[in-house]
Amino acid sequence: MGRPRTLGGVSETTNTSRDPLVEFIESASAPLSPAPEAVTHARRDAAEYELPAPDEATGRLVAALAASGAGEEPAGAIVASPAAAVVGLYVLEGLTEQAAVTCIDPEAEHTRRARESFREAGYPAARGRFLTARPLEVLGRMAPGAYQLVFAQVSPMDLKAFIDAAWPLLAPGGSLVLADALLDATIADDSRTDRSTAAAREAHARVAELAADPEAGALVTHLPLGAGLTVLTRRR
């Protein structure tokens, strides 16, 4: 089987063979409700415009993390991603019915697609909020401790600042998900000195600082999803 490779956060393989375990998991997973076709349409649009949409495994993880706060006081979610239409549908699958997701992207077309995808899936308008702005311009206006999940698919150049802005927004037990933050492990290659890799390396160091700080209460997990997924969870 060909080695998986990542193109803008979308995992592909170098040949047509597939891992039997992946095939089984995909076949055994129940479709997202209320409209699985909305996810299919959102993925198709993301692929057409070459937007970095998460794969199915990442999406299911995001849904599970969003659901981990269910049954408590409703906490919302934030999605900062060009493919908010895809990510947001997984987030809404996990959130309680009283909670909403805020989608942030500087391109109005991306937030418009997210709004249409949520409508296609049958979610009420109140379940989505859409901000056409750079994430770092608006995160400071969000309520601290009010979010169960923050998902980021942002430039490595903005990653460290995004972490510092988003971490205080998490409710106890909430998670910050950094998609493709490890750049396919190139951050471990000292010969890579380009600005993007250096910035991702600084962000990784900031994550390590939070993990080592007992007052921060950060539980950090790195997963081989996309180009390397980092999850920071605020201990309760």
Structural tokens at position 21: 């375990």
CA distances from 119 to 41, 47, 84, 234 (A): 12, 20, 13, 31
Domain containing 52 equals 5-234
Q: Is the pLDDT of residue 147 over 80?
A: yes
pLDDT at site 4 = 40
Contact 102, 129 (CB under 8 A): yes
Closest C-alpha among 207, 98, 74 to residue 147: 74
Q: pLDDT confidence of 22, banded at 50, 70, 90?
A: confident
Q: What is the CA radius of gyration of the chain?
A: 17
Give the CATH number of the domain where residue 185 resides. Answer: 3.40.50.150
Instruction: Output the pTM of the full model.
Output: 0.88
119-143: b (≥16 Cβ within 10 Å) or e: ebbebeeebbebbeeebbebbeebe
Task: Out of 8-12, 52-56, 81-85, 177-181, pick the least confident.
Answer: 8-12
Q: Distance (Å, rounded) from C-alpha 175 to C-alpha 89?
A: 17
pLDDT single digits (tens) 61-80 = 999 999 987 656 768 999 99
Closest C-alpha among 216, 232, 122 to residue 181: 232
Closest C-alpha among 62, 45, 177, 44 to residue 110: 45
Query: Sheet harboring 128-132: ordered strands across?
Result: 128-132, 101-105, 76-80, 147-152, 170-178, 229-234, 218-223
Structural tokens at position 225: 């999803």
Please give the angle made by the CA atoms of 190, 181 and 8, to the nearest 5 degrees.
105
pLDDT single digits (tens) 164-188 = 999 999 999 999 999 999 999 999 9
Q: Is the pLDDT of residue 11 over 50?
A: no
CA quadruple 131, 139, 128, 103: dihedral, nearest 10: 60
Checking DSSP bridges between strand 147-152 and strand 170-178, what pairing results, if any?
A: parallel
CA distances from 111 to 87, 134, 168 (A): 12, 12, 24
Those residues with Cβ within 8 angstroms of residue 4's Cβ, 6 or more apart along the chain or in another chain: 11, 12, 13
Please give the angle made by the CA atoms of 66, 163 and 108, to the nearest 5 degrees.
70
Domain count, the chain: 1
